[in-house]
Chains A and B, each alone.
Chain A
Amino acid sequence: MRYSALRLLKEGLTGQKGWTPHWRDPAPKDDYDIVLIGGGGHGLSTAYYLAKNHGLTNVAVLEKGYLGGGNVGRNTTIVRANYFLDGNSQFYSHSLKLWEGLEQELNYNVMHSQRGLINLFHSDGQRDAFARRGNAMVNQGDDAILLDREGVREHLPYLDFDNTRFPVYGGLLHPRGGTARHDAVAWGYARGADRRGVDLIQNCEVTGIDVAAGRVTGVQTTRGPIRARKVGIVTAGRSGQVAAMAGMRLPIESHVLQAFVTEGLKPVIDHVVSFGMGHFYISQSDKGGLVFGGDLDFYASYAQRGNLPMAEHVMEAGMTLMPMIGKARVLRSWGGIMDMTPDGSPIIDKTHIDGLYVDCGWCYGGFKAVPASGWCFAHLIARDAPHEVAAKYRLDRFRTGHLLDEEGTGSQHNLH
């Protein structure tokens, strides 16, 4: 079914009885050309682009729970292309361009809102660093505007500009940055992949990866064995466990990142605001809730919940920057499992096993990457060669020293 204003009108007049399910619920076949492990944002977008860009539709996505039930449904929904390093810059620029056409592409409302993202700075040195980053963004073909203090005040009059610890000197505005409806992105890609013939198989946990003579031959699942010529691992925070089924250890340690949302309020925060020095960022959802978070808890975790010290730290940082939010009541907090690499950048690569590919290491930045990650992982699987904008996301770059350390914090999983 194609969605349109006309369709909406028709359904409105006929009791909303004509809507059909977004996707089929097929039983797994015995054999596929390609099996993708993980039905989250990246797995679903990979399936979509395998079908759309490469005409490969004998594909199954195996999801142990329900589609989009992992990090794609648990993040803070920010979409941006403000990266600095060669390798990251091209990739996220490509992703943002895909975002900008995504709703037409998928015929699905992902509520992509380019409301602008402002990264605040608080010293002369930080201004220089942000000017450099902004120039890199402009050179990449994206947009960046360096705002002075008064420029920030025009956008964000409610900040405490003179707070004693981090007075606001200015900010880097990324006008094309913004947010999107996270669940809808997963649903839109799922629907698009399903319509092109991909089997989306839920409640199907992979329990083993079959390898014979250095080549992948299929997977074992809770719904029986499935043969496959190629297998892609797209399991974010659980990448370590899945890779271990193929006898591999990854350069990944899984950490917890907390996020928070308040009760619904009238529109008050129009942008995405990032306060890096205080470890705090915030935006307002279309429902009105203030959605905010900070840094990792900084210890390995699969708990999907964090501890109080980081919750307090985030709240304190928020109160330091914008005291007006102090009266809002927090409705929920939660934690996600972040697949942290030693340099904070992702991996899209082949493995030493023929036909086995990995797309992982998204750290806490996977959401905005969903379109380009799928685009590039599909390219890699279909053609057995990396896509040019993801060519630096190699699995062996830590061994060879070709790091993509965007923050310059060093080669250790818990530093990013």
Chain B
Amino acid sequence: MRITCPLCGDRDLREFTYGGAAVYMDRPGADADLDALDAYLHLRDNPAGPTEELWSHDMGCRAWLKVRRDTVTHEILGTALAAEAKRGAG
């Protein structure tokens, strides 16, 4: 598996660390109820197919990436800087 870092280009899997599902970017507010926090932290769609997740380019630029990836084929379908994806989502 190779991941294209928006800053560093096409790089080997060894340089990256998986950081979990991209839902980690949508943290509920401080006033959120227990169910919302439970869903955020623990419950997962866990799809067999395309999914969105976070990867850290630990051995490169150290940026957090939002990666769209197929869990059945391991194909990388798209990458973006997590910070920019967050801003884009508004």
Residues of A within 8 A of B (CB): 238, 240-241, 244, 249-254, 298-303, 307-309, 342, 398-399, 411-414
B18 touches A298 (CB 8 A): yes
Collect the chain A residues with CB atoms within 8 Å of residue B73's CB.
303
8 additional contacts, CB 8 Å, given A251-B42, A398-B42?
Answer: A252-B46, A303-B71, A307-B13, A309-B14, A399-B34, A399-B35, A411-B41, A414-B19
A250 touches B74 (CB 8 A): no
B87, CB-defined interface residue at 8 Å: no
Q: Interface SS of chain B: helix, strand, loop or mixed? A: mixed
Number of contacts between A and B (CB, 8 Å)?
Answer: 72
**Bound-complex Cα distance A347 to B42 (A):** 13
Taking a contact as CB atoms under 8 Å apart, the answer to whether B39 and A249 are in contact is yes
Q: 22 A–B contact pairs at CB < 8 A?
A: A240-B45, A244-B45, A249-B43, A249-B44, A251-B42, A251-B43, A251-B44, A253-B20, A254-B48, A254-B71, A299-B18, A299-B53, A300-B53, A301-B71, A302-B71, A303-B71, A303-B72, A303-B74, A342-B41, A342-B42, A413-B20, A413-B44
Closest A residue to B14 by beta carbon equals A309
Question: A residues within 8 A CB of B32?
Answer: none
State how many angstroms separate the Cβ of B16 from the closest Cβ of chain A.
9
- Chain B, Cβ-Cβ closest to A313: B14
Q: A309 contacts which chain B residues (CB < 8 A)?
A: 12-14
CB distance from B84 to the nearest CB of A (A): 22
Across-interface contacts of A412 in B (CB, < 8 A): 20
Which chain A residue shows the least CB distance to B19?
Answer: A414
Taking the complex as formed, is B80 at the interface, i.e. its CB lies under 8 A from any CB of chain A? no
- Could you say which interface size class chain B belongs to? 20 to 34
Q: Chain A: which residue is nearest B51 at the CB level?
A: A300
- Can you list, as one digit per residue, whether each of B63-80 has a CB less than 8 Å from chain A (1) or not (0)? 000000001111000000
Q: Are B74 and A301 in contact (CB under 8 A)?
A: yes
Q: Decide: A398 and B38 in contact? CB cutoff 8 A.
A: yes
Q: Kindly list chain A residues whose C-beta atoms are within 8 Å of the C-beta of B20.
A: 253, 412-414
CA distance A301 to B46 in the complex (A): 9
Shortest C-beta distance, B81 to chain A (Å), equals 19
Please indicate the chain B residues that have their CB under 8 angstroms from the CB of A303 in the complex.
Answer: 71-74
Whole-angstrom CA separation of A184 from B48 in the bound complex:
29
Candidate in B19, B39, B48 with the most chain A CB atoms within 10 angstroms:
B48
| A300 pairs with B42, CB closer than 8 A | no
Q: Is the CB–CB distance between A253 and B46 below 8 Å?
A: yes
Kindly provide the distance from the CB of A96 to the nearest chain B CB, expressed in whole angstroms.
30
A411 proximity list for chain B (CB < 8 A)? 41-42
Quick one: closest A residue to B39, CB to CB?
A249
- Report chain A residues within 8 Å CB of B72: 302-303
For B74, the chain A residues whose CB sits under 8 A away are: 301, 303, 307
A240 contacts B42, CB within 8 Å? no
For residue B89, CB closer than 8 A to chain A, the reply is no
Interface string of B14-41 (1 = CB under 8 A from A): 1001111100000000000011001101
Bound-complex Cα distance A238 to B72 (A): 12
C-alpha spacing A303/B73, complex, angstroms: 6
Using known A-B contacts A307-B1, A398-B38, A399-B38, determine if residue A253 contacts B44 with beta carbons closer than 8 Å: yes
Q: Which residue of A lies closest to B1 (CB)?
A: A307
User: Which 6 residue pairs spanning A and B have beta carbons closest together?
Assistant: A240-B46, A251-B42, A299-B18, A399-B38, A249-B43, A398-B42
Chain A: CB-nearest residue to B18: A299
A413 partner residues in chain B, CB cutoff 8 A: 20, 44
User: A residues within 8 A CB of B34?
Assistant: 399
Give the Cβ gap from A70 to chain B, nearest Cβ, in Å: 14
Find out whether the CB atom of B21 lies under 8 angstroms from the CB atom of A249.
no
A240 proximity list for chain B (CB < 8 A): 44-48
| A15-B30 Cα distance, complex, nearest whole Å | 75
Chain B positions within 8 Å of A238 at CB level: 48
* Residues in B whose Cβ lies below 8 Å from that of A307: 1, 13, 74
Report how far A250 CA is from B21 CA in the complex, Å. Answer: 14
| Chain A neighbourhood of B43, CB < 8 A | 249-251
Nearest Cβ on chain A to B1's Cβ, whole angstroms: 5
Q: Are B71 and A398 in contact (CB under 8 A)?
A: no
A47 to B13, CA, bound (A): 42
Cα(A254)–Cα(B47), bound, Å: 9
